[in-house]
Structure formats: C-alpha cells, structure tokens
Amino acid sequence: MTIKQLQELSDTKTIFYHLKILLYDAIKKCFGIEVDINNIEVDYPKSRIFGHLTSNIILQIAKLVGKAPREAAQQILPYIRHEDIERVEIAGPGFLNFYLNKKFFLKHLGRILEEKDGYGSWNLGQNRVVLMEFGSPNAFKSLSVGHLRNAITGLSLSRLLTFLGYRVVNLNYYSDIGLHVAKSIYMFLRRPLPNDFEARTTHEKMNYIVDCYVEANQLFETNPDVKSEIQEINLKIFSGEDSIINETYKKLLQWSLDHQHYDFFERIGVKFDREYSESQMSDAAVRLSTELEGKVLIRDDNALVFPGEQYNVNRYVFLSKYGTPTYSAKDMALALKKREDYPNYHFSIVLTSVEQNDYFKSLITALCVFDNSFKDKYYHLGYGWLLGMDGKKASTRKGNIVDAVDYLNEAKEIAKERIKEDKNYLPQDIDNIAEKIGISGLKFLFLSHELHKDIVYNPTVFLDPQGYSGPYILYAYVRAKSILREANIDKFDFDSSGLNTDYSVSDCEEELLEILSKFENITFMAGTQLAPHIIANYLFDLAQSFNKFYKEHKVLVDNEFVRNFRLSLTLATATVLANGLYLLGIETIDHM
C-alpha cells in the first residue's frame, strides 16, 4: 500500500538528500542536462568495501549524453565535491561509490549525544492529524493472535508516524453486537456458574465466556431450536426489552472490555485516544444506506447493495432485505463519524488482516463514489497471519484458539525460566524482567517481518538471547547501560567538538560510527514506507556492531580521550537502541 501523503514527504536533512542535490548539479554542469531529481537513486551498498553510499545515476544518463558509462563517470568526478565526502570511486560499469569522511560520522555522534531521545525524529508531518484505527476486538470472544499482531503493529506504526512529526490519534473500533454475542449469552444463562466465579480474574471470566460461545456455536449449527432461540436473543439485545438479557449483556460486555484493556492492551503498552463500538454505528448505518439508495447503492432482492463489479471491485450488501445493516454499512458510517470528529485529518489508516484486503478495497471505493474527498485520504493496511509450528492458523469458532493473553503468558514464563538459569534475582525482579523480555520477543517477531507476510510462532527462536530477536537487542542495551553506570555517566562531561582529532579509530569503532549515523535515514524510510521491519533489521545490525566493539575494546581505559570517545560511542549506542526499541513498542530495561 502506497500512502500518497507519505510518498510526498521529502528527506531534506540527511546525506541522501544532499548527495541527490549534488549529483543533480554535477550532471547539469558537466553535461548540460537536467534530470528529475526523484530519479536519482542513492542507496547503501551491500558491503562496506563498496563505500558508505552508492548511486547508479551514471548508468541511467550515459545514453542521454552519448558516452560509455565509465567515461561519463570519469568526466563527472571533478564536479562532485562536498564537505562530507572524502573520495568517490567508480565501480563496475559505472557505479559511483561514495566514501564519507570522519568529520561526517563524528558530527552525527555529537548530534546523538545532544538530541538524545529526539534523535532520528522529524518535523515533516507538521503536527497534522493522522487517524490510526487498530485493535478492533470482538467483545464476548477471545482475543486471538490476530489481535496480538494487530495491536503490536498498530502501536509501532503510530509511533513511526509520530516520529515523522504527525499528531497520531489512536482509534479502536470494537464489536459489541451480533450473533456471537447472543450465542455467549444463550449458554451463559443456561450453565450453572461455578461457585468461585465472582472471585475469578477478568481473564478467567473471559475464558468461561468463550467456552460458552464455543458450546453455543456448535449447537447453533446443529440444532434448529437452539438456533431460533439465539436469533431471538439477538433481537432482544437490540430492543432491550428483556431485563435479564439486557442485564446479562451489560455485565458480560464490561468483563470483555476490562479483559481487553487491562489484561491485553495495557500490558503491551497500547492506549487509545478514542473508541467506537459497532452498536453506536447501527442506526447511522441504516440512515446512511437509505440515503445512498440510487446514488451509491442499488436495490437487489429488496436489499441495498453496492454494485462493486461496476468499479472492478467486489459487490457487498449494505442493508439486508430485513432492514439490518451489515459490516459494510457500519464501516462506512464509522468513516463519516471519524471525519465528523476529526474534520481536518490529513489521512486515515485502518489496520486489519490481509483477508480483508478485498473488502476494504470495495468499501473505500464505495466511500469515494459517495464523496470523492475520501480519495487518497482513507487507507487500509493488511497484515499476514501468525501460524502455529504446524503451519496452520486457529479459529475461535472451532474452539481451538489460543488466547492472545496466553501467548503473552507463555512468552513471559519461557523468559522467566531462562533468566533464572543465568542470575539470582529477587522474585519481583524476575517477574518484571521476564514480562519485558517475553513481550520484547513477541513484538520483535511480528515487527521484524514485512507487514503482509505470514509468521511462524516459535518461542525457541524469538526468545533466543543470542539470535535475531528482541532479547538480543535488549541485552546489547543493558550491556551499554552497565558500562555507563560503571563510568558514573551522570558526571560524564563529553565535549563533542573535541572528537575531530587525529585519533585513529579501529575498524569496529568506525563501523559502529557508520551504523549510528544511519538511524535518521532509517526512521525516515520506515515511517514513510510504514515498515517497522526496517527499524528491526537496523537495531539488530547496531546491536551486533556494538557487541563486537565491546569484545574488542575496553571502554574504561586510563587514556582520558580514548575513554571519553568510547564512552560517547557507548552512550550514543544506548540512546539509538532506546529510540529504535521505542518505535517498535519495546520497553527497555537496565538489568538483564
């Protein structure tokens, strides 16, 4: 999914932008032609041996100037001069490889130490409002692993956009009506409650409600009498005419919402600025569908339908022949409600699984047919599935679901057993550290993959402190903080202007400097592409580089300048790791 507003943002302060301007000017001066600056590609090379940055622009313009690529490259070299460039080399048929000087990297190091938790952030969004709708759980049903991926991804995307300078409003649209509600209530009223039920936690109560739903759903599909009773309960929920059903509905709904907020969303760091419920949209959906008849919707078998085939998308019913609104009608009503509540929003994103891609393509098309001002303002992002180690996904309806909270608990317990093996912690420390390590593993698992890809759940891998994992990056952060504590960093007075000296940095120190300098561009790419995996990959590279630096060099040496320089590298690494982990929604810890 390409979001127009993000693609229009310009990276105006990184070396990438400066090199594009430099190449544009050099081509104009050398060959007398102007190229589209957007077509000038500057990228990181595959290996450090090919420089710090590379461009294939000469290959693109060689024919235009009637020269062989290497000849054109040789001619343009004298025009490429910049204070940050040490030298430019020609590689292969005409690639330009740029080697940046030490001053450039030391300048970035000084900025990290100065800007701290603001380093890597931008003001490109100019505080314009962006709506991020995610979460979207079903009350009365278990929170699935899909909700886990949704919430973790939504939080990270929200923080990435905030880092770009937008004012992100986090929205939650939850389902609190429908047959699944009636099924849960039907069985809840027929089962004798366990004696200890009121004393149970919200999570345990929710498990009981889910059991009611699963049992009722099986009867609904096989017993016509039960099906009829459940459908009648569903009507009474809407009308509110039955006091027992109404009271039960309110009680179970509150348990569901408490479970969602306190056992799940709060635990993974998600907070919503505004919440909408499906029941709040029902009346508006009926009115809207009626108003759209003959304009956007057509009458078909007495139902109101969006004829998607006329617009090369799928057809969907908005109002059934019984006069009840469908998800489509309620989602369109929600889109209008969001615009009413946030009339000046810059753009809006809805995050769901990929299986709803076609549905939202139709819905957004219908929105634009109704009101063309929604064009390029309302977007849908789809994420892939988390699969079990058997390669299959679970289903609440079939009753083989693993609750999202159970995933959190399992990750925490595995982490707890691992840290017990390493050190002696106080019981309260073990619980807190294990919680953060476990959740870091889950979050990194989801966010280290491209959004649309399926992921296999394997705790052995995503909780491995030595592998490509959240705990590995957390451990690098903890190691850096430990060094800073030992150095009494609160009293550490480092003058970044003194870095530009003749001190000969080692290869691993140079590598660490180079990786640290990339973070600003990394946040730009991850934010504009809505791609948290770019942050995840970068953090792993940074953690690896810092661990290599730590193994090869003692930081707290006697030589004051060397000590201060290595402390500055350590402090900058801790700062950037913390900033990057924040963008992934991962909470840092000081001990591990």
Confidence class of residue 491 from pLDDT cuts 50, 70 and 90? Answer: low
Q: Looking at the domain 4-100, which fold is it? A: Gyrase A; domain 2 (3.30.1360)
Over 70: is that where the pLDDT of 320 sits? yes
Average pLDDT over residues 153-165: 98
Residues 6+ apart with CB under 8 A from 518: 44, 538
SS3 content of the chain, % helix, strand, coil (to 5): 60, 10, 30
Give yes or no for a contact between 132 and 168, defined as CB atoms under 8 angstroms apart.
yes
Q: Which amino acid is at 187?
A: M
The pLDDT score that the predictor gives to residue 418 is 85
Model confidence pLDDT, tens digit, residues 188-221: 999 999 999 999 999 999 999 999 999 999 999 9
Q: What residues form DSSP beta bridges with 215?
A: none
Helix-helix angle 560-583:532-552, to 10 degrees: 160
354-357, Cβ contacts within 8 angstroms, sequence gap of 24 or more: 354/382, 354/383, 354/384, 354/385, 354/452, 355/382, 356/380, 356/382, 357/382
Structure tokens at 415: 């982490």
Cβ-based neighbours of 358, under 8 Å, separated by 6 or more: 313, 314
Q: Which residue has the tokens 């753009």?
A: 347
Q: By CB neighbour count within 10 A (0-12 exposed, 13-18 middle, 19+ buried), where does 403 fall? A: buried
Residue 156 banded pLDDT, cuts 50, 70, 90: very high
SS3 letters across 400-427: CCCCHHHHHHHHHHHHHHHHHHHCCCCH
Can you tell me which residue has the tokens 């690494």? 573
Q: Which of 29-33, 548-552, 559-563 shows the lowest per-residue confidence on average (mean pLDDT)?
A: 559-563
Instruction: Give the contacts of 487 (CB within 8 A, at least 6 positions apart).
Output: 555, 556, 563, 567
**Which residues make beta-bridge pairs with 170?**
132
DSSP 81-98: --TTEEEEEEETTTEEEE
DSSP, collapsed to helix, strand or coil, labels residue 352 as strand
Sign of CA dihedral 45, 49, 55, 60: negative
Average pLDDT over residues 163-176: 97
Q: What is the mean pLDDT of residues 372-387?
A: 94
**Share of residues in the chain with pLDDT > 70 (%):** 94
What is the C-alpha to C-alpha distance for residues 530 and 129, in angstroms, rounded to an integer? 16
Residue 384 CB coordination number (10 Å): 18
Query: Which residue, among 188, 172, 198, has the nearest Cα to 260 in the 3D structure?
Result: 172
Task: Look up tokens 């966010």; give the residue.
Answer: 447
What's the CA gap between 479 and 518, in Å, rounded?
21
**Which among 502, 314, 376 is positioned nearest to 3, based on CA atoms?**
376
Tokens of 298: 């057509």
Beta-bridged to residue 43, according to DSSP, are 54
- For the chain, where do the domains classified as CATH 1.10.730.10 start and end? 404-583
Tell me what pLDDT residue 386 has.
Answer: 84
- 316 forms bridges with which residues in the sheet? 306
CATH 3.40.50.1100 is right for the domain spanning 404-583: no
Give CA 166 to chain center in angstroms: 15
Cα angle 288, 174, 266 (rounded to 5 degrees) comes to 150
pLDDT at 460: 87
Q: What is the DSSP letter of 293?
A: B
Residue 397's pLDDT band (cuts 50, 70, 90):
very low
Q: Are strands 53-55 and 95-100 parallel, antiparallel or unpaired?
A: antiparallel
Q: Which helix (H) or strand (E) holds 298?
A: strand 298-300
Mean pLDDT of the chain: 93
| pLDDT(496) > 80 | no
pLDDT number for residue 592 = 76
Among 133, 131, 152, 135, smallest CA distance to 143 is for: 135
- What are the start and end residues of each CATH 3.30.1360.70 domain in the chain? 4-100
| Residue 487, both tokens | 């150095």
pLDDT surpassing 60 at residue 394:
no
Does residue 299 carry a pLDDT above 60? yes
| Mean pLDDT, rounded, for 346-360 | 97
Residues 511-549: pLDDT tens digits?
Answer: 999 999 999 999 999 999 999 999 999 999 999 999 999
What phi-psi label fits residue 504: left (phi over 0), alpha (psi between -120 and 50 degrees) or beta? beta
Give the Å distances, CA to CA, from 388 to 37, 434, 437, 456, 471: 46, 23, 21, 6, 21
**At residue 396, does pLDDT exceed 70?**
no
Residues written for the chain: 592
Q: 402-441: per-residue pLDDT in tens?
A: 689 999 999 999 999 888 766 667 777 888 999 999 999 9
Q: What is the mean pLDDT of residues 35-62?
A: 94
DSSP state of 347: E
The per-residue pLDDT for 390 is: 64
- Given a contact cutoff of 8 angstroms between Cβ atoms, the answer to whether 173 and 150 are in contact is no
Q: Which two tokens stand for residue 581?
A: 């982990």
pLDDT of res. 489: 76
Tell the residue number behind the tokens 């959190």, with chain if given: 408
Please report which confidence band the pLDDT of residue 383 belongs to, taking 50, 70 and 90 as the band edges: very high
Query: Are 416 and 430 a contacting pair, CB within 8 Å?
Result: yes
Q: Are 484 and 574 in contact (CB under 8 A)?
A: yes
Cβ proximity of 361 and 313 under 8 Å: yes
Tokens 């039920």 belong to: 197
SS3 159: helix
Q: DSSP state, 455? A: E
Q: Which of 544, 376, 571 has the alpha carbon at shortest distance from 472?
A: 544
Q: What pLDDT is attached to residue 239? A: 87
Neighbours of 205 (CB within 10 A): 19
